[in-house]
Structure 1
Amino acid sequence: MTDRQRQFESLLREHRRIVFKVASVYARGSEDRSDLAQEIAVQLWRSFGSFDAARAKFSTWMYRVALNVAISHARQVARDDRLEPLDAAHLELSGDADVSQPDERLVALYAFIGGLDPLNRALILLYLEDRSHAEIAQVLGISETNVATKIGRIKQKLRGQMVVAAPTGA
C-alpha cells in the first residue's frame, strides 16, 4: 500500500460520517444508500489526486465531491421515480437521533429537507452541519451572498410549513 493510499484511507475513515450523511439525504432505501455511499467513496478516490490542502480543508473538498455525486444520482433517480421523503430510518442511518422515539419536529424537518431540490438540500445539509457561509459557498460553487439568500428563503419556507402543520389549540 502506498503512502497516498494510506493517507486517503485515514482521511476517509476520519470523515466517513460525511459520506453516510450525504448518502442518507440523497438516496432512498438502505440498499440505495449503501450503493450511493460506495459510489461516493469511489469518486473520492478517483478525485483524490486533485485535492489541494492549500486551497481547502479535506472535509470541504469531500463534501463537494460527495454532493456532486449525490446530486447526479438524485437527478438520475428523479427521472425514474420521486425521491422518498426522509423518515426515522434515515435518521437512524445518519446517527443523528434516537429513533426509538423520534421527535416529530425532527421527522418533519427531515421530510421538509427531503422535499427540497438537490442544490437546496445540499445547502441545508451543510448549514445544519454548522459550516460557515464561506465554506458552503466553496463546496457548492456559489457566492456567500447567494448562500445567505438561499438559507433565508429556506428558513422562511420552513417556518411557513411548520406554522401550517402546527396543531391548533386543544
Structure 2
Amino acid sequence: MQESLKDKFLNDFEVNQNIAHKICRLYTSNKNDHNDLFQEITIQLWKNYPKFRGDAKFSTWMYRVALNTAISLYRKSTRTIKTHDISDVEFKIKSEDYDDTEEQQLKALYTAIRSLNDIDKALVFLYLENKNYKEISETLGISEVNARVKMNRAKDKLKKILNP
C-alpha cells in the first residue's frame, strides 16, 4: 500500500525534528520564541514538502529550509517572529519535550554563536552537526572552498569571544 504524502512527511519530520529544535535553540533566546520558530519551520517544511525531489537526503533539505526560515524571519524583523496560525492544519505531530536543562553546559557556546552573523551561525551549526564541507556548501548554496574559508573565520571569531 502506497504511503500518503502526509504520512511520509509526518514520518520524515518526526525522525528529524531535533534538527528544527537545534536551529531554534541557535536563533532564539527563550522558550516562547523557540516554540514560535519551531512552528514556523514546521509550516514551511509542510508547505514546501511537495517540492522535495529527494535529490538530497531529507535531513539535508530540512536543514536548508529550517535555516532559511530562521534567517529570513530575523532579517525581516527586529527579533519578533511572525507566525502563521496552525489551527487549519489537520494533523498533529508528536513533539519531543524540549528540555532546556539538558543543554545548560553549552550555554556559553550558544551565546557566543548567537553573536555571529546569520551565515556564520549556520556554518557553525552544520559543522557541530558533523556535516562535511560538501554537505555544508550544498545546504547553504555556497562553494566548498568558500565554506572552508568562512568556517575558519567563524572559528577564529568564536575563540576571541570565548577567550578574550
TM-score, structure 2 as length reference: 0.81
1:28–1:159 Cα change, 3 Å = closer
Q: Is the 8 A contact 1:21 1:94 kept in 2?
A: no
The equivalences for 1:117-136 within 5 A come to 117-136=117-136
1:43 and 2:48 correspond? no
How far residue 40 of structure 1 moved from its aligned partner, in angstroms, is 0.5
Which aligned pairs between 1:1-170 and structure 2 lie closer than 5 A? 3-53=4-54, 55-78=55-78, 93=98, 98=102, 102-103=104-105, 106-164=106-164
Residues 20, 94 of structure 1: 8 Å contact kept: no
Deviates more, 1:22-31 or 1:139-148: 22-31
List gaps (5 residues or longer) in structure 2. 81-96
Q: Distance in 2 between matches of 1:12 and 1:149?
A: 32
Flag as ranges the 4+ runs of structure 1 deviating above 4 A. 92-95
Unpaired runs of 5+ residues, structure 1, are 81-91, 165-170
Report deviation, 1:73.
Answer: 1.3
Higher relative contact order (CA 8 A, sep 6+): 2
* Deviation for aligned residue 1:93: 4.2
In structure 2, how many angstroms separate the alpha carbons of the residues matched to 1:50 and 1:109?
35
Q: CA separation in 1, counterparts of 2:99 and 2:76?
A: 23
Q: Which amino acid aligns with 1:64?
A: R
Give the % identical residues. 39
**Secondary structure at the counterpart of residue 131 of structure 1:** coil
One-letter identity of the residue aligned with 1:159? K
Q: Deviations over 1:90-147 (max 9, x none)?
A: xx9476x745xx44xx332111101011111111111100011111111111111111
CA RMSD of aligned residues (A): 2.0
Give the count of matched residue pairs. 146
